[in-house]
Structure 1
Amino acid sequence: MFLRTFGWSFAITIVGLIAAALIWGAEGFGVVLILSILEISLSFDNAVVNATVLKRMNAFWQKIFLTVGVLIAVFGMRLIFPLLVVGLTAHLNPGTVIELALDSTKTYNGHTYGEYLEMANPAIAAFGGIFLLMIFLDFIFEEKDFNWLRWLEKPLEKIGKLDALSSVIALVSLALAANFFAGEHAETVLLAGLMGLATYLAVNGLSGVFESGLEEQEEAEEEAQKTGKSIVQVGGKAAFFLFLYLEVLDASFSFDGVVGAFAISQDIFMITLGLGIGAMYIRSLTVYLVRKGTLDDYVYLEHGAHYAIGALAVILLVSIKYHIPEIVTGLIGVAFIGAALASSVVRNKREQAIEGEPELEASNVS
């Protein structure tokens, strides 16, 4: 299962690194390798959250996620999307943006492509920060089968029964970020944050509607089977909107990686190749977690990933004004995932010990 799931990632890595060495030499090889590691470290929590969504999709859509989804992630989010952001925020025509991107030393009005992307950071951070914050808030306020930090999560679950609480907190957070961090970019930050909120509500809402419809169809099909009737399921629509949700989620996670990559290299092709290799591993890891049933075996992993998302959302909003080193972002995510994994292992051992006690008592009686 491991080689089958990660086979394409290994193959792309080998081909990509060889291509980097042939085109850019030893320096290019090193840069692409570093960018790949950067992407993986920043997005490990993304894989865990993706897995919680992907396991609700059938095998066909899981393959779509690994094929079409990879193309969108690599070329769409890591190459085309930054071009669009630079063009929209700097009010540049597509031809100028492409010229700047192809030549890292070329300037327009005194700025390079990387500098224009850095100037677009307030809009990028606001959109991604609010989108990720909504994911974290909706998770922390919903009732869960298991609680990791029970002292915190139980009270929040009770408060979360208030309608639209997540949206209210997100809007207040956006207003505070625009007031304290945005400065002259306040209007841009507010607009981008609202777009992030609207995108989350739209995609998440539509996927929820179709999922509910699918559940009703499945119940009706069970009844129909008893009477000899057949019913067409609408699982494709539900899976499609879940797929869109995953792509927007991936985009939100990729923002800090794309911007941070320019601190390592100004070559857009090096950046796309390096981040693309990293994105392949995140997608393979997502599918592996689903097929291996890791989230069912280690029940707190999902909690750790969402806490990492909450931390990343805060970091993105703060980064509107202050630069946060990428290593800090990566280490926070790894720390939450690691703590959640350790807690899950301890829980599993405790559960096994409890299950073993009745057997031990029975053997002593006999």
Structure 2
Amino acid sequence: MIARIFGLSAGISVVALVIAYLYLGWTGLALCAILGVLEVSLSFDNAVINATILERMSAFWQRMFLTVGVLIAVFGMRLLFPLMIVWITGGLNPAEALRLATNPPPDGQAYFADGQPSYETILTEAHPQIAAFGGMFLLLLFLNFVLTERERTWLTWLERPLAKIGKLDQLPVVLASVALVLCAEFLAADDIRATVLIAGILGMVTYITVDGLSSLFMSDGPEHDEPGPTRATKATGKAAFFLFLYLEVLDASFSFDGVIGAFAITSDPIIIALGLGFIGAMFVRSITIYLVRQGTLGEYRYLEHGAHWAIGALAVILLLGVKYHIDEVVTGLVGVAFIGASLASSIRANRRDSRRSDTPSSVNA
């Protein structure tokens, strides 16, 4: 099972490393490997969330996301998206943006001799807007999870009070709006304050629209009860399509920080695409498949909670990134900490339940 799920990712990774070696020699191979490892370590919470949403989709739409969706993630987010940002914000045509990407200024300078900013500089300067969009999208996702009452809780002392106040209508939107205003007022520079506000609003609108449409079509579609303690509705048609779009935007939001952070290692878009896309994104795909097929989310009951708390932390980090640079290693460690803690809690709970079931009940003769 494991070899079949991870075999394709391993094969593509080998091909990516070979291409990187042919492109830049041993330096290219090393940079590609580092970026691949970085992406996988940063994106485990992404895989967990992907798995929770994929479980709501029909088998056909699961395959669509794991094929077409992954291609969009690999080529769209890791290769074309940075080029588009440079193209749009730098006022360049696509050919000029590609030229800048493949011909950086000497000695790692931020500007060319004629004063033109480098590809890395343009993309870095666009980071506040990117962070505001992705941060608000992820913040709403997190708030909608923790402010919803659930039968099962992980951090009970915190999640139950949050669920109680979450009964106030539209509270996630209110809290997210307040967070955006505070971010624009205290973190954004004066010359980009309006831009950060617009980007954040667009992130909120995107989340509300895609999530709302998918929920609408889910409620209109047929329900299929599955055996066991849970009831699941498998999305098809329009509902599944909007869940597909939701997953793509979610993947993009997770990818923003990694793509920007990759420039701390290399500014070459080919190496970034090979490392983050062909290695990192493919292994995230394999981890997602493994979680779905093995029923890991059902077996480890608090894993979904940990992933959402990791998303909340990432949203805060992205919003703080409007002003401050936070190392990607910190981002990754925070996510791993939440996932690891929720996994450990799940294992302890499973062992506790097992001991209770093994204890013979005393009956009166």
Structure 1 length-normalised TM: 0.92
> Which residue does the alignment assign to 1:126?
132
Amino acid at match of 1:17: L
Amino acid at match of 1:279: A
* Matched-pair contact (CA < 8 Å) for 2:90–2:122: yes
> Which residue does the alignment assign to 1:188?
195
2:209 equivalent to 1:209 = no
1-side partners of 2:136 and 2:192: how far apart? 16
> Which residue does the alignment assign to 2:229?
none
* Matched-pair contact (CA < 8 Å) for 1:214–1:234: yes
> Which residue does the alignment assign to 2:92?
92
Correspondences of 1:199-238 after superposition (within 5 Å): 199-215=206-222, 235-238=236-239
* Matched-pair contact (CA < 8 Å) for 1:179–1:186: yes
Offset of 1:94 from its aligned partner?
A: 2.4
Q: CA 1:49 to 1:234, structure 2 compared with 1: closer, same or farther past 3 Å?
A: closer
1-side partners of 2:203 and 2:172: how far apart? 13
Give 5+ residue unaligned stretches, structure 1: 220-232
Offset of 1:161 from its aligned partner?
A: 0.9
1-side partners of 2:37 and 2:246: how far apart? 25
> Which residue does the alignment assign to 2:248?
247
2-side partners of 1:299 and 1:5: how far apart? 23
2-side partners of 1:90 and 1:310: how far apart? 31
2-side partners of 1:70 and 1:18: how far apart? 21
Correspondences of 1:93-108 after superposition (within 5 Å): 93-105=93-105, 107=112
Helix, strand or coil for the counterpart of 2:264? coil
> Which residue does the alignment assign to 1:41?
41
Deviations, residues 57-78 of structure 1 (Å, cap 9, x unaligned): 1222111112111110010011
* Matched-pair contact (CA < 8 Å) for 2:57–2:235: no
Offset of 1:360 from its aligned partner?
A: 5.4
Deviations, residues 84-132 of structure 1 (Å, cap 9, x unaligned): 2222223333232122122223847431101100000010000000000
Which deviates further from its counterpart, 108-117 or 263-272?
A: 108-117
1-side partners of 2:328 and 2:182: how far apart? 23
Amino acid at match of 1:318: L
2-side partners of 1:22 and 1:135: how far apart? 41
1-side partners of 2:184 and 2:334: how far apart? 24
> Which residue does the alignment assign to 1:273?
274
Amino acid at match of 2:265: I
Deviations, residues 176-226 of structure 1 (Å, cap 9, x unaligned): 01011111210110000000000001111111111111146x69xxxxxxx
2-side partners of 1:88 and 1:171: how far apart? 27
> Which residue does the alignment assign to 1:143?
149
2:31 equivalent to 1:25 = no
Helix, strand or coil for the counterpart of 1:322? coil
Deviations, residues 8-37 of structure 1 (Å, cap 9, x unaligned): 111101111122122211111110000001
Of 329, 332, 337 in structure 2, the residue corresponding to residue 330 of structure 1 is 332
Amino acid at match of 1:204: D
2-side partners of 1:133 and 1:125: how far apart? 11
* Matched-pair contact (CA < 8 Å) for 2:51–2:288: yes
Stretches (4+) displaced over 6 A: none
> Which residue does the alignment assign to 1:297?
299
Offset of 1:309 from its aligned partner?
A: 0.5
- Residues paired across the two proteins, number: 349
Amino acid at match of 1:81: F
Q: CA 1:244 to 1:263, structure 2 compared with 1: closer, same or farther past 3 Å?
A: same
1-side partners of 2:132 and 2:90: how far apart? 17
Structure 2 length-normalised TM: 0.92
1-side partners of 2:209 and 2:73: how far apart? 20
Amino acid at match of 1:166: P
Amino acid at match of 2:266: S
2-side partners of 1:246 and 1:306: how far apart? 14
Give 5+ residue unaligned stretches, structure 2: 107-111, 226-233
Structure showing the higher helix proportion among its residues: 1
1-side partners of 2:71 and 2:115: how far apart? 33
Of 352, 355, 359 in structure 2, the residue corresponding to residue 353 of structure 1 is 355
> Which residue does the alignment assign to 1:227?
none
> RMSD of aligned C-alpha atoms?
1.7
Of 110, 135, 146 in structure 1, the residue corresponding to residue 116 of structure 2 is 110
2-side partners of 1:104 and 1:281: how far apart? 29
> Which residue does the alignment assign to 2:78?
78
Amino acid at match of 2:329: I
2-side partners of 1:234 and 1:57: how far apart? 5
Amino acid at match of 1:138: N
Amino acid at match of 1:135: L
Calculate percent identity across the aligned residue pairs.
58
1-side partners of 2:85 and 2:20: how far apart? 26
Offset of 1:4 from its aligned partner?
A: 2.0
> Which residue does the alignment assign to 1:198?
205
